[in-house]
Amino acid sequence: TQLLEQSPQFLSIQEGENLTVYCNSSSVFSSLQWYRQEPGEGPVLLVTVVTGGEVKKLKRLTFQFGDARKDSSLHITAAQTGDTGLYLCAGARSKETSGSRLTFGEGTQLTVNP
């Protein structure tokens, strides 16, 4: 059972376009992370959101945590070819500091064409 559903699974756009990737769940998460992964490499952490309704910006990337802490979105403005990659969301369900298991979504493969 996939606790985190990402959509879309694949996205191909032209350079300069805007896009939004969604990460949804029926479960509440104490925090949620977004990672970006390039071929042949491990995922790299982009951001962590903790508070319901929180919005964080990283240059052209805007991350939002839902008010109920069950969903999140990643919005990219004016996409560039360098944004191409696999975007993964991951949620931590426990507020406990021990263990800290993350549940990952399946990922969104983004291709930005020149």
Partner 1 sequence: DAGITQSPRHKVTETGTPVTLRCHQTENHRYMYWYRQDPGHGLRLIHYSYGVKDTDKGEVSDGYSVSRSKTEDFLLTLESATSSQTSVYFCAIRRTLLSHEQYFGPGTRLTVT
The 3-class SS string of the chain reads CCCCEEECCEEEEECCCCEEEEEECCCCCCEEEEEEECCCCCCEEEEEECCCCCEEEECCEEEEECCCCCEEEEEECCCCHHHCEEEEEEEECCCCCCCCCEEECCCEEEEEEC
Binding mask 66-95 for partner 1 (x = CB under 8 A): ----------------------x-x-x---
- Decide: is 31 part of the binding site for partner 1 (CB under 8 A): yes
- Decide: is 28 part of the binding site for partner 1 (CB under 8 A): no
- Decide: is 19 part of the binding site for partner 1 (CB under 8 A): no
Q: How far is the CB of 106 from partner 1 (least distance, A)?
A: 4
How large is the C-alpha radius of gyration of the chain?
Answer: 14
Q: How far is the CB of 110 from partner 1 (least distance, A)?
A: 15
Give the range of 18-26, 59-67, 68-76, 100-108 binding partner 1 by CB under 8 A. 100-108
- Decide: is 10 part of the binding site for partner 1 (CB under 8 A): no
